[in-house]
Chain A
Amino acid sequence: MLRELRKGTASLLLLDLLAARPMYGFELAEALRERTNGVLTFKEGTLYPALHRLEAEELVETFWQDSPRGPRRRYYRLTARGRKALAERREHWHTLVEAINGALDAGNGTVSP
């Protein structure tokens, strides 16, 4: 369950980051670190499989662009299908968070000895 949740979270975060503008892998990892003040980071070894999976699902598409400084980079951008998936996943995420919060609040933090 936790693993599935994590996997789903990674793709949701990637889609959300890409909603603003096309980005390349290293930039995505840095953007997430900055956005969450270093609380959430992509373990880089999992970043690329997640991006390639999104590409295989046709939620993102890629293009190569030369960089004035540094190597040629592979950018990812959202497809129309990706935007739709992002909206759906955002909604699912909020529903899930509300449900979990509701369940935790109902327990009032009591732990049986």
Chain B
Amino acid sequence: MARLTPETERFLRKAVAGLPFRKRGEARDELRAHLEDAIEQKVAQGSERKRAEREAVASLGDAAELNRGLLRAHFGKMWVLRYLYSKLSWWLPELGHIQFRPKFMIWTHTSKYPHQYAEGRYDEIIPPLGTRTCFTRAE
């Protein structure tokens, strides 16, 4: 399987978002195969590989439009609900980048050790077991 650029992978993820799990994998593999065929054809015609990949992706049109078409095909009139769900699923990974940890740690420590905090005796504050991992995003 040829390696595609991260932009193309993102395009594929967007195009199949919201489809049922098994169908999503199949649709992504199908679109990926289409792109690989189109890239190979363009390269054979003398195009440079990166350019061929960009053109192949462009020929599939807008990822959101393709996504709406696939959702309509699979869910009929209920496609709007799945579309909203898929939109949300694009944003959720982005929310993972928000760091909750500092605020949470301060809140925990000030409530459990108010005097130590007020008097600046930070060395006496021992982080309670488990709080470190509560809202910390795995690297």
Residues of A within 8 A of B (CB): 24-26, 43-46, 48-50, 52-53, 55-56, 70-74
Contact = CB atoms under 8 A, between A and B. Distances in A.
B25 to A, nearest CB: 11
B37 interface: yes
B77 to A, nearest CB: 13
B81 to A, nearest CB: 17
6 contacts: A48-B66, A48-B69, A48-B70, A52-B27, A52-B70, A72-B29
B4 to A, nearest CB: 11
Interface residues of B, number: 25
A73 B33 contact: yes
Interface stretch (B56-64, B89-97, B107-115, B128-136): B56-64
Q: When A and B form their complex, which 6 residue pairs have the shortest distance between CB atoms, in order from nearest? A: A45-B61, A49-B69, A52-B73, A71-B33, A53-B73, A26-B37
B30 interface: yes
